[in-house]
Structure 1
Amino acid sequence: MATRWMDNDVYGHVNNVVYYSFFDTAVNAMLIENDLLDTGASPAIGLVVETGCTYAAPLSFPDDVTAGVSVARIGTSSIRYDVALFAPDSDRPAATGHFVHVYVDRDTRRPVPVPDHIRSFLETLTARHADAAGEAAR
């Protein structure tokens, strides 16, 4: 994701609020790119109910930010994503955070179970699954 001139604050780095936008973009782009979310028609949609961020190093314009997304927890109707943001040519995250979606019916906004097709895909991104894959590779 490209930073924009307007993302920088008076201190010369990306303002803290922009990191949350990067988290939102990374998670929803992943869902859309994997045909898991149709923003205009999916009967169940994920609403953000919680976010958090820990900052480790500054990002600034004109950085291209890379986001890594994993799934920390899948509940009945919620998913907690862990997100890491990286500056160009860095293997250490500039920021790490989390992002929680609660799935609701598009019309009633009442909680619903995470749709099966979404759950199946996201289970491949859980730390538990990644650990098992690593063990199998050894």
Structure 2
Amino acid sequence: MDNDAYGHVNNVVYYSWFDTVVNQFLIVNGVLDIETSSVIGLVIETQCNYLASVAFPDVVIAGVSVSKLGNSSVRYEVGIFKNEETSASAQGHFVHVYVDRESRRPASIPDNMRALLKTIQS
């Protein structure tokens, strides 16, 4: 199911990987609970450049950094690597605007999340 009719991973899957690596980073580091956090990130922009094909059964590794950290928004830079290659197969960005879970109005990034994001800011 990973490969499309052209024999490689379809482009939309990369955006799912972007979302997964960002949210996993936040969850694993204890700054986001997807069910109860009062402030959540909504995706407002994504972009991807495809540099080399990825196909099943390649092993996929995603790297993430922060290039812009605002009051309520974050621009993440993401690289997708296959197998043990050191050159990215795809690279792009992913922008979250953090909002209050209930009102969906922009909210300041919580202090603990901001501190974590600074550790990967480039």
TM bucket by the smaller chain? Answer: over 0.9
Task: Name the one with the larger helix percent.
Answer: 1
Question: Is 2:51 aligned against 1:47?
Answer: no
- Identify unmatched segments of 5+ residues in structure 2: none
- Three-state SS of the structure 1 residue aligned to 2:18 is helix
Equivalent residue letter for 1:45: I
State the alpha-carbon separation in 1 of the partners of residues 19 and 46 from structure 2: 9
1:57-76 equivalence runs, <5 A:
57-76=52-71
State percent identity of aligned pairs. Answer: 57
Report what 2:121 is aligned to: 126
TM-score, with length taken from structure 1? 0.87
Q: CA deviation at 1:7?
A: 2.2
Aligned length: 122
Equivalent residue letter for 2:110: P
Q: CA deviation at 1:62?
A: 1.1
Deviations along 1:48-83, one digit per CA (max 9) or x if unpaired, are 000000000000011110000000000110000000
Task: Name the one with the larger strand percent.
Answer: 2
Report what 1:132 is aligned to: none
Deviations along 1:64-111, one digit per CA (max 9) or x if unpaired, are 100000000001100000000000020000000100000000000000
State the alpha-carbon separation in 1 of the partners of residues 31 and 54 from structure 2: 30
Report what 1:103 is aligned to: 98
Q: CA deviation at 1:11?
A: 0.9
The Cα RMSD (Å) is 0.6
Which of 11, 23, 47 is the matching residue for 1:16? 11
Which of 72, 75, 79 is the matching residue for 1:84? 79
